[in-house]
A and B are shown apart, each in its own frame.
Chain A
Amino acid sequence: MTPASIDAAQRGAGGYVWRFKLVHRWTHAIVMVSFFLLVLTGLPLRFSCAFWSEPLMRLLGGVEMAGRLHRIGAILTFGYFGFHVAYLVGLLWKADERRSMLWGEDSIVPQPRDVTDFIAQIRWYFGRGPRPRFARYSYMEKFDYFAVFWGVAIIGSSGLVLWFPELFARFLPGWAFNVATVVHGEEALLAAGFIFTIHFFHVHLRPEKFPLDAVMFTGRATAEYMEEEHGLLSGRIEARSGETPSSVSIPDLPAPAPTRRQTLVAVIFGFTALGFGIALVGMILWGASFC
């Protein structure tokens, strides 16, 4: 088994196509690293009575050190969040990008198509129709994307309240800290649980893609993969397939095949994240059952 055969995005016929820009991939990588840091340092506190929480805290260097690491994770999160919002504003500034960003096949904004896609998907589950052909972002991917906004807003704001209680107590009532505690803990559980089960399943573990889809790390996928996952883009991809592969990651343009080294790095990074995530799900399940 070669590294390339592990990556779902490198399976199938056709040349390679760029799917994600470099800036997308770096943003996603920082989201991953900060998210793991936050979950790893926050989970033992959420399930402090679980058998694994005390050894994990010791491993992290104690409660105070875990707290510092958690705040570093928070700073990273606010950092990428701010960066991404600025990036979006920058794109919206450009008139030619605005239309396709806000509506249509290239847009990540939810629209009627997503409802019909969802219904088609359910029909497909029961053998009542073909699998829907998705645009640039499927409704699952849109949900994943906006879940980060919702999550950062809710977990981030409640986390800030808990981080600076003296400051926030100037205008918030005391019970707000109890509410923030509940919201922060439960919403974080939702986020971690969602990413490490639903997102992992949808992106990596479902039979079509198992065991790993590295498209977010290498930035590219085969034309056949794109046809299966984002069929509505096929026409455009086909139209430009004759061009020479672009070394710059511009979506839909032909791309050079990922090198063995790039693939290896992507696979190792991906499997590490999958392993950590699945281990954390086990810990969450233990904690939720016995705490």
Chain B
Amino acid sequence: MTGRPLLILVLGWALCPPVAGQAVPRQGCDLCHGELELLRQHTATLEEAMALLAPATTLLASAHRGMSCAECHSGFDRFPHREGGFGTRTCRSCHEAAEETWASGAHATESEAGCTACHGVHAVASLERLRAADAIPERNAVCATCHLEAPSGTGDAHADRVLCTSCHNPHATLPVADPGSWMHARRQASTCGACHDETSLEWTDDAHAAAVSGQQGIEIVDGHIRTPSCAGCHGAHPILPKAAPDFATHVTERCQACHEDYSESFADSYHGKAATLGSDQVAQCAGCHGAHSVYPARDARSSVSEDNLLETCRSCHPEAGAKFAGFRPHAHPNDPNELPQIYWTNRFMIWLLMGVFGLFGLHSILWVGRSAAQVIGRADADHDAKRGSVS
């Protein structure tokens, strides 16, 4: 250590010695620990200097603003600091419950992301700040430093509007397949329901809710959750806003992941074809079956039950009469078990096409062979005639 900075340190300490219980107790520490430039001159690396940096302004803006340095750091009350005998209190010494929860989560068991990985060291955000709406992007950015695949940006209804930690328990962070996870299929209705309360109430007794309540595990297919749950149909990252032009198509794809048979027959119908090609006007799965009150057709509450079907059709076709609902939106014209009128019409059309193209195809092929022979023959004859006239 060279002479001059030491002199400054001594002078600084002499002028403003740390006094316990004083209103601005950090002032003495701040003289050195608030100045990166200064710290850097007494440390081997920048990292070391950064580790020692704790400006009063940072602490005053943090959740710990009422506390003095000495409340966490012991053994530094003399200056120059003595060798050895230092101590730093852990977060646990005050936040015991939080740490216990954390210890059960994936941040403790799967990684080494401790308190400071998310909360920082001296810039510990206050609860008000953690919950402030304008802090959401900044809080989510903290998660994104490790969770690079985390959602962000445009197209996601939640991006910059919902905290990661609103859906994912920040302390007991668990994989979605764990029944303790806030995002486990059986808990999504309550987690998402914290904001989407009406939707979640509507959902709680429909066919999907009934299915998921009996389901322990969770199945992930192609990165999508296959269990009927909020995220099972809406996805999670990104989650499309309802106003997005491809919202219905996106949800339909999720329906198709489980209801394969119905999805094929839907894709063969005009509704399905137009939807596939980007129409947002036609009925897709939820257009007829509902979204959060889906019941099998035999259930009187179903939007496609015998009594409700016509009313459902009328939401797009207001003039529809009783016979209208007899249309089969999930027909299989190629299946002999389909209504005979539909099956046999399809058979007849296929035979008609085969017959017409077979007959006229053959007619044309024979013609081209004969004409070609004739055209070649004529050319040869012309050629011979010319040769004859020359010789």
Chain A residues at the B interface, C-beta cutoff of 8 Å: 44-46, 48-49, 53-54, 57-58, 62-64, 67, 121-122, 124-125, 127, 162, 165-167, 169-175, 177-179, 181-183, 186-187, 189-190, 193-194, 197-198, 201-202, 206-208
Query: Nearest B residue to A56 by beta-carbon distance?
Result: B277
Among B118-126, B170-178, B351-359, the stretch that binds chain A is B351-359
Whether B319 is near chain A, meaning CB under 8 Å from some CB there, is: yes
Query: Nearest A residue to B319 by beta-carbon distance?
Result: A166
Whether B366 is near chain A, meaning CB under 8 Å from some CB there, is: yes
A194's partner among B276, B317, B323, B356 (CB-CB below 8 A) is B356
In the complex, are the beta carbons of A182 and B279 less than 8 A apart?
A: no
Query: Nearest A residue to B331 by beta-carbon distance?
Result: A178
Residues facing A in B255-270 (CB within 8 A) are: 267, 269-270
B287 to chain A minimum Cβ distance, whole angstroms, is 15
Q: Chain B 309-338, CB within 8 Å of chain A: the 1/0 string?
A: 000000001111101111110010100000
Query: What B residues does A207 contact at CB under 8 A?
Result: 368, 371-372, 374-375
Q: Could you tell me the distance between the alpha carbons of A170 and B326 in the complex, rounded to whole angstroms?
A: 11
Whether B75 is near chain A, meaning CB under 8 Å from some CB there, is: no
Q: Could you tell me the distance between the alpha carbons of A53 and B339 in the complex, rounded to whole angstroms?
A: 30
B279's partner among A62, A169, A173, A179 (CB-CB below 8 A) is A62
In the complex, are the beta carbons of B319 and A182 less than 8 A apart?
A: no
In the complex, are the beta carbons of B367 and A175 less than 8 A apart?
A: no
A92 to chain B minimum Cβ distance, whole angstroms, is 29
Whether B342 is near chain A, meaning CB under 8 Å from some CB there, is: yes
Query: What B residues does A201 contact at CB under 8 A?
Result: 364, 367-368
Q: Other than the known A54-B277, A167-B319, A198-B363, what 4 A-B pairs have Cβ atoms closer than 8 Å?
A: A166-B321, A198-B361, A207-B375, A208-B371
In the complex, are the beta carbons of A166 and B325 less than 8 A apart?
A: no
In the complex, are the beta carbons of A178 and B339 less than 8 A apart?
A: yes
A49 to chain B minimum Cβ distance, whole angstroms, is 7
Known A-B contacts A48-B276, A186-B350; A165 and B317 likewise in contact (beta carbons under 8 Å): yes
Known A-B contacts A45-B277, A169-B321, A175-B326; A162 and B356 likewise in contact (beta carbons under 8 Å): no
Query: Nearest B residue to A185 by beta-carbon distance?
Result: B349
In the complex, are the beta carbons of A193 and B323 less than 8 A apart?
A: no
Question: Which residue, A166, A167, A178, A179, has most C-beta atoms of chain B within 10 A?
Answer: A178
A17 to chain B minimum Cβ distance, whole angstroms, is 23
Question: Which residue, B270, B368, B374, has most C-beta atoms of chain A within 10 A?
Answer: B270
A181's partner among B269, B276, B326, B356 (CB-CB below 8 A) is B269
Whether B274 is near chain A, meaning CB under 8 Å from some CB there, is: yes
Q: Could you tell me the distance between the alpha carbons of A125 and B374 in the complex, rounded to whole angstroms?
A: 10
Query: What A residues does B269 contact at CB under 8 A?
Result: 181
In the complex, are the beta carbons of B317 and A166 less than 8 A apart?
A: yes
Query: What A residues does B367 contact at CB under 8 A?
Result: 121, 125, 201-202, 206
In the complex, are the beta carbons of A62 and B267 less than 8 A apart?
A: no
In the complex, are the beta carbons of B267 and A170 less than 8 A apart?
A: no
Whether B273 is near chain A, meaning CB under 8 Å from some CB there, is: yes
A190's partner among B274, B282, B356, B361 (CB-CB below 8 A) is B356
Whether B278 is near chain A, meaning CB under 8 Å from some CB there, is: yes
Known A-B contacts A45-B274, A63-B278, A174-B326; A125 and B366 likewise in contact (beta carbons under 8 Å): yes
Whether B73 is near chain A, meaning CB under 8 Å from some CB there, is: no
Q: Could you tell me the distance between the alpha carbons of A63 and B331 in the complex, rounded to whole angstroms?
A: 22
Query: What A residues does B357 contact at CB under 8 A?
Result: 190, 193-194, 197-198
Q: Could you tell me the distance between the alpha carbons of A48 and B277 in the complex, rounded to whole angstroms?
A: 7
Q: What's the interface size class on B, roughly?
A: 35 or more
Query: What A residues does B276 contact at CB under 8 A?
Result: 48-49, 53-54
Q: Could you tell me the distance between the alpha carbons of A206 and B323 in the complex, rounded to whole angstroms?
A: 50
In the complex, are the beta carbons of B345 and A182 less than 8 A apart?
A: yes
Task: Give the top 4 A-B pairs by smallest Cβ distance, nearest first.
Answer: A174-B326, A186-B349, A63-B279, A169-B324
Query: Nearest A residue to B349 by beta-carbon distance?
Result: A186
In the complex, are the beta carbons of B333 and A177 less than 8 A apart?
A: no
Whether B369 is near chain A, meaning CB under 8 Å from some CB there, is: yes
A175 to chain B minimum Cβ distance, whole angstroms, is 5
Question: Which residue, A124, A175, A197, A208, has most C-beta atoms of chain B within 10 A?
Answer: A175
Query: What B residues does A122 contact at CB under 8 A?
Result: 366
A174's partner among B279, B325, B366 (CB-CB below 8 A) is B325
Whether B165 is near chain A, meaning CB under 8 Å from some CB there, is: no
Query: What B residues does A175 contact at CB under 8 A?
Result: 326-328, 339, 341-342
Q: Could you tell me the distance between the alpha carbons of A68 and B342 in the complex, rounded to whole angstroms?
A: 27
Query: What B residues does A177 contact at CB under 8 A?
Result: 327
Query: Nearest B residue to A193 by beta-carbon distance?
Result: B357
Query: What B residues does A181 contact at CB under 8 A?
Result: 269-270, 331
A195 to chain B minimum Cβ distance, whole angstroms, is 11
Whether B199 is near chain A, meaning CB under 8 Å from some CB there, is: no
In the complex, are the beta carbons of B349 and A183 less than 8 A apart?
A: yes
A131 to chain B minimum Cβ distance, whole angstroms, is 8
A124's partner among B273, B324, B370 (CB-CB below 8 A) is B370
Q: Could you tell me the distance between the alpha carbons of A121 and B362 in the complex, rounded to whole angstroms?
A: 13
In the complex, are the beta carbons of A64 and B323 less than 8 A apart?
A: no
In the complex, are the beta carbons of A198 and B270 less than 8 A apart?
A: no
Whether B281 is near chain A, meaning CB under 8 Å from some CB there, is: yes
Q: Could you tell me the distance between the alpha carbons of A63 and B271 in the complex, rounded to whole angstroms?
A: 11
In the complex, are the beta carbons of B277 and A57 less than 8 A apart?
A: yes
Query: What B residues does A166 contact at CB under 8 A?
Result: 317-321, 324
In the complex, are the beta carbons of B375 and A169 less than 8 A apart?
A: no
A25 to chain B minimum Cβ distance, whole angstroms, is 25
Query: What A residues does B353 contact at CB under 8 A?
Result: 186, 189-190, 193
Whether B86 is near chain A, meaning CB under 8 Å from some CB there, is: no
In the complex, are the beta carbons of A174 and B350 less than 8 A apart?
A: no
Query: What B residues does A44 contact at CB under 8 A?
Result: 277
Q: Could you tell me the distance between the alpha carbons of A179 and B342 in the complex, rounded to whole angstroms?
A: 5
Query: Nearest A residue to B373 by beta-carbon distance?
Result: A127
Provide 17 A-B residue pairs closer than 8 Å at the C-beta atoms, listed in order of the A residue. A45-B274, A57-B277, A63-B279, A63-B281, A125-B366, A169-B320, A169-B323, A173-B323, A173-B326, A174-B323, A178-B331, A178-B333, A178-B342, A182-B342, A186-B349, A194-B360, A202-B364
A47 to chain B minimum Cβ distance, whole angstroms, is 9
Q: Could you tell me the distance between the alpha carbons of A175 and B327 in the complex, rounded to whole angstroms?
A: 5
B285 to chain A minimum Cβ distance, whole angstroms, is 16
In the complex, are the beta carbons of B274 and A63 less than 8 A apart?
A: yes
